[in-house]
Structures are given as C-alpha cells and as structure tokens.
Amino acid sequence: MSQKQTHEFQTEVSQLLDLMIHSLYSNKEIFLRELVSNASDAIDKLKFESLSNDKLIEAKDEPSIHIDIDKDAGTITIKDNGIGMTHDEVMENIGTIANSGTKKYLEGLDKNQTQDSNLIGQFGVGFYSAFIVSNTVTLLSRKAGDDKANGTKWISKGKGDYSIETVELEDYGTTIILDVKKAEKEFIDDFRIRGVISKYSDHITVPIMMLKHSEEDKDVIEYEKINEATAFWMKDKKELSQADYDEFYKALTYDFEGPLTQIHNRVEGKLDYSSLLYIPKKAPFDMWEPKRKSGVKLYAKRVFIMEGNEELLPQYLRFIKGVIDTADLSLNVSREILQGSKVVDTIKKASVKRILSELDKMSKNKPENYATFWKEFGMVIKEGVVEDFANKDKISNLLRFTSTSAGSSDQTISLKDYIGRMKEGQKNIYYVTADTYEAAKGSPHLEIFKQKDIEVLLLSDRVDEWLVANFGDFEEFSLKSIAKGDLEDLDSKEDKKKKEKTVKDFESVITKA
C-alpha cells in the first residue's frame, strides 16, 4: 500500500461540484442513472478489450452491476466488474476534467433544472452527481489484468479536495460507496432504488442485481436481476409503443424531450442488422463545431464497439441519434477497418435512404412536424446537396425557402412549389442572397421582378451562398441570381414582340435617314 495523498480538485471540478449540487436539487435521483451508465460503459469497454486479450476477464465472472443498500450504515454501493482504472486513470478521470465540453456545461447550467440534469450525461461528468445525495463518496477500483496489490482507493467530500492511495483489492472493476446525507435517506430504500432503475436504466443490456428478499429464509443471500437487460432495438416494433420509444430515446441521448420521430428497422438476408435511428426535436448545442460527431452507436452482436464514427452516416446527418447493431462485423473491428468495410458502406447507404424517405413522408403527411424539423436542421440538410451527390435529387426535394410571395421569413416553400408558380416561358429559378432576411427582402434588384410579378427566393442562411454556387440544376431549371448576369428572359412573349417591333421601327428610321 502507498501512503495516502491529498490533492486539490482542478478549479473546474470544484465549480462543477458546487453548481451541480445546487442546481439539480429537484432531480436528485439522476445520480443513480449516471453511476449505472458509467458502470455499464466500463463493462462494455472490458468486453471490447478482452477480444484481443482474453486474460482480462476471469472465467467465473458474468458481466453485472450490483447495487447494495445498508440501512444501518446509511450507504448505497454500486459495484461493477468492468474495465476498472489504474491509480493514474483515477487521478486523470476524476481529479481533473479533460472534457472540452465541460466549460460549456458549466455555462449552460441555469434555472431549468430538468434540462440541467440531462446535460450531465452529454458532457461525461455524471460521476460528480453522486455528491448531490452524499456526504462522502468512496471509489475503489482495480484495472482488469492488473495485480491485486495495484488497487486504488479514492475518497472525497466534494468540497475542494480528495485523498487517494494504493490498496489491495480482490476484485477488478469499480465499486462506488455513497455515504448518503440524512436529508436524502429516501434513497436508502430498496423499493425507491428499484423504481429509479426501472425509470432510467431498464434498457441497460448488463444485468443490474439487487438482493432478493426471501420471506422463507431471511439468512439466505441471493441476488436477482431488476432490469430487463435486453437490447431495446432488437425488440419487435409491433410490441413497442411510442412511449417506449420516447423513454429509450431519453435514456440514450439525455434529452429531456422525446424525439420528433424514429426509424426502427430490421434486415435479414445477405446482411443481418438492426437499426433504431431518431430524429430529435432540437438541434444540439454543438451542431456547428468542426469536430461534432455523429450520435449513432455501433454494436456488433449486441457488444458496443464505438460511437460517433463518420463512416456510419454522412456529416450532414450528424444530428441523427440511435443505434446500429450488426452480426456481420467482427467484434474487434477498428475505426480503420470501418473505412473500407463493404458491410458498413451498405448499412450506411440503406440508413441514409430510410432517413431521407422518412423526412419526405413527414414533409407530405405531417407538415407541422417538418416545419419544426426544418427550423432546427434545415441548414445542415442543405450541406447534403453538395456532399451527397448520389442523393442530390432527394435532398433537393426536402429543401425549404422563403420568397417574395411568402410574406414572412418562415422557410416553407419547396423548389417544386416555386416551379408550380413560375410564369409561362420562365426558364430559371431566381434568387437573391443577403446576410439577413430583411436585407434580402429589401434588395433593389427585386424591383423589376415585382413589376413583372415573378417570384424570387430570399436566401439569408449562412450556407446559402455556398449552396447556390454548387447546386447546379433542379429538374430542367437553373438557379439564377437576380444580382448577376443577363435577365432578358424576364420578358414575356408580348414584351419581346414589342422590343422587336421597336428595334425594327428604329432600324427603319435609320435606313430612311
């Protein structure tokens, strides 16, 4: 054993602990959701790493999360047999915050406590939620494969510092012991804990175990599984309600609202895979960050492989959340292998096709929902016209704009709507770009179009200049800026005849002279 050392928390950690404890007071139960989620992730990671090192998992161990309540001691213990952590990893992962999103989390904490509780999981700082209900948090961890003498014990009251020491631990994995505050004793209750697990963690594929209460023999210690522990996306969609889909979505994404819609699909044949993809109601805070990753998790035979890989969906669909699970990938697949995988490419193409088809159906059958979608994700969809040439026509049909005939900045007009209102003989789709809707609406170039009652698209999104520069044609019509080029085709047949007559008359006068 090494001598116990005391360290100060990184400044951001102290700030985080203080804000979290005070801002999440009304939704305290989420601490259990976060700790169980972390335990599940640790088990998934061990499964993955053991594929290349089978000595990491002992034969006697079945992956599981155990939750124990000690009413006399006033403690809750959450124990997993996952990957575990070394001394240095505990220091790095808990004493400091390397997550680039943490400062945004801190900035985002406000009076909306429901939203705050869901932001926690998005930023990977869920461990600290333990201090909402605890006087003291003790963490015991040993990395799988390490010697028993290399365990780590970490203790903190969440008030600025923590102690850490090397200890001997019989079991690998991580154990967290919460010394629960007197004011939070409601959680020292078997029924209460089971209710929280049912609410937030029923979908976790790892068995969550609690003591079974036997009236016949109270001295017998026996654990029972308290969650369903099956992959939600593998269920028959006929057996699932919208409420079921909504609850899984919230658990998966930490969104406090349900999704706009979902696409649940099962394919069997040359390829064997299931996908459950969600379209959210709101855009994520980091939608426009260059390193923004996809929210789709990849599983192989129900084993979590990776998240956020750009090979699963194109960049313009980065807002999609969900799960893809296939039996046709080896469990030790790497990111590099994914880049050249025909399996992944086929799944990607099929997933894109289904998403675009679902959006098309929504635009036709549920225009109000589509208006919500377009307001949040329209600018991102515009990227797809250029980035995904194979689906350009489908994406083009999804585009929405405002125009001189709309009367507001709401983007509700499709290119087909525009074409349906074109003047006889009109060959182009006219547009004007500007930094704002008001500037586009006030463009002096519009005067002649107003006189001739020709509709003009008003483009003011930041991607619009790039879009029209790379767009090409829609059906047989070209997009044409009213601020550039020859506008002779604005003339009607009558106007052209008048011009021709004027020219002839002028030429006649010149000849006679």
pLDDT at 318: 92
Question: Average pLDDT of 333-353?
Answer: 84
- List the domain range (segments joined by +) for residue 19: 5-228
**418 and 353 fall within a common domain:** no
Does 228 have pLDDT greater than 50?
Answer: yes
**Cα 148 to chain centroid, rounded:** 38
Look at residue 503 and tell me if it is in a domain. Answer: no
pLDDT at 163: 94
Look at residue 160 and tell me if it is in a domain. Answer: yes
% of the chain with per-residue pLDDT over 70: 83
Tokens (6 digits) for 496: 């052209």
Task: Provide the pLDDT confidence category of residue 98 given band limits of 50, 70 and 90.
Answer: very low
**96 and 211 fall within a common domain:** yes
Does 186 have pLDDT greater than 90?
Answer: yes
Write out pLDDT tens, residues 126-183. Answer: 788 899 899 999 999 999 999 999 999 999 998 888 999 999 999 999 999 999 999 9
Does 45 have pLDDT greater than 60?
Answer: yes
**Cα 18 to chain centroid, rounded:** 27
Contact between residue 456 and residue 404 where contact means Cβ atoms under 8 Å apart: yes
Which residues, including other chains, have CB under 8 Å from residue 207's CB and lie 6 or more apart? Answer: 62, 63, 64, 65, 225, 227, 229
Q: What would the DSSP string read from start to end of 240-290?
A: --HHHHHHHHHHHH--SS--SEEEEEEE-SSS-EEEEEEE-SS--TTTT-T
pLDDT at 101: 46
Contact between residue 483 and residue 443 where contact means Cβ atoms under 8 Å apart: yes
Element (H, E) at 431: strand 428-433
**219 and 71 fall within a common domain:** yes
**150 and 222 fall within a common domain:** yes
Give the side-chain half-sphere CA count within 13 A for 35: 31
pLDDT at 495: 58
CB neighbour class for 375 (10 Å; exposed up to 12, middle 13-18, buried from 19): middle
Task: Provide the pLDDT confidence category of residue 308 given band limits of 50, 70 and 90.
Answer: confident
Does 504 have pLDDT greater than 70?
Answer: no
pLDDT at 92: 84
Distance between CA 231 and CA 446 in Å, rounded?
A: 57
Look at residue 500 and tell me if it is in a domain. Answer: no
Phi, psi at 220, each rounded to 5°: -80, 125
pLDDT at 274: 95
Task: Provide the pLDDT confidence category of residue 364 given band limits of 50, 70 and 90.
Answer: very high
Cβ-based neighbour number of residue 3 at 10 Å: 6
**324 and 453 fall within a common domain:** no
**210 and 248 fall within a common domain:** no
Tokens (6 digits) for 61: 């161990």
The residue with greater pLDDT, 403 or 229, is 403
Q: What is the CATH number of the domain that holds 289?
A: 3.30.230.80
Contact between residue 211 and residue 68 where contact means Cβ atoms under 8 Å apart: yes
Distance between CA 508 and CA 447 in Å, rounded?
A: 33
Contact between residue 74 and residue 185 where contact means Cβ atoms under 8 Å apart: yes
**199 and 273 fall within a common domain:** no
Number of structural domains found in the chain: 3
- Walk across the sheet containing 303-307 and list its strands: 261-267, 273-279, 321-326, 295-300, 303-307
Tokens (6 digits) for 344: 């992944």
Q: What is the CATH number of the domain that holds 27?
A: 3.30.565.10
Look at residue 501 and tell me if it is in a domain. Answer: no
Tokens (6 digits) for 12: 């951001």
Question: Average pLDDT of 4-30?
Answer: 75
Nearest CA to 395 out of 356, 365, 364, 363 is that of: 356
pLDDT at 100: 38
pLDDT at 471: 95
Distance between CA 137 and CA 176 in Å, rounded?
A: 7
SS3 35: helix
Look at residue 345 and tell me if it is in a domain. Answer: yes
The residue with greater pLDDT, 496 or 470, is 470
Range scoring the smallest mean pLDDT among 51-60, 106-115, 202-211, 439-448: 106-115
Q: Name, of 36-40, 136-140, 197-201, 219-223, the range with top average pLDDT.
A: 136-140
Does 485 have pLDDT greater than 70?
Answer: no
Q: Which of 347, 380, 413 is the last residue of a domain?
A: 380
Q: Name, of 33-47, 162-176, 319-333, the range with top average pLDDT.
A: 162-176
Task: Provide the pLDDT confidence category of residue 383 given band limits of 50, 70 and 90.
Answer: very high
Tokens (6 digits) for 390: 């194979």
**153 and 29 fall within a common domain:** yes
**200 and 244 fall within a common domain:** no
Buried b (16+ CB within 10 A) or exposed e, 190-227: eeebeebbeebbbbbbbbbbbeeeeeeeeeeeeeeebb
Q: Name, of 90-104, 174-188, 243-257, the range with top average pLDDT.
A: 174-188
Report the DSSP beta bridge partners of residue 277.
263, 322
| Average pLDDT score over the chain | 85
Buried b (16+ CB within 10 A) or exposed e, 53-68: eeebbeeeeebbbbbb
Write out pLDDT tens, residues 455-469. Answer: 999 999 999 999 999
Range scoring the smallest mean pLDDT among 38-42, 321-325, 409-413: 38-42
Write out pLDDT tens, residues 392-446. Answer: 999 999 999 999 999 899 999 999 999 999 998 899 999 999 999 999 999 999 9
Question: Average pLDDT of 265-294?
Answer: 88
- Walk across the sheet containing 473-474 and list its strands: 402-403, 457-459, 428-433, 477-481, 473-474
**266 and 150 fall within a common domain:** no
Distance between CA 402 and CA 409 in Å, rounded?
A: 6
Task: Provide the pLDDT confidence category of residue 122 given band limits of 50, 70 and 90.
Answer: very low
Look at residue 386 and tell me if it is in a domain. Answer: no
Report the DSSP beta bridge partners of residue 180.
134
% of the chain with per-residue pLDDT over 90: 57
Range scoring the smallest mean pLDDT among 246-255, 356-365, 440-449: 246-255
Distance between CA 398 and CA 388 in Å, rounded?
A: 14
Task: Provide the pLDDT confidence category of residue 505 given band limits of 50, 70 and 90.
Answer: low
Look at residue 246 and tell me if it is in a domain. Answer: yes
Report the DSSP beta bridge partners of residue 232.
none
pLDDT at 381: 97
Report the DSSP beta bridge partners of residue 432.
458
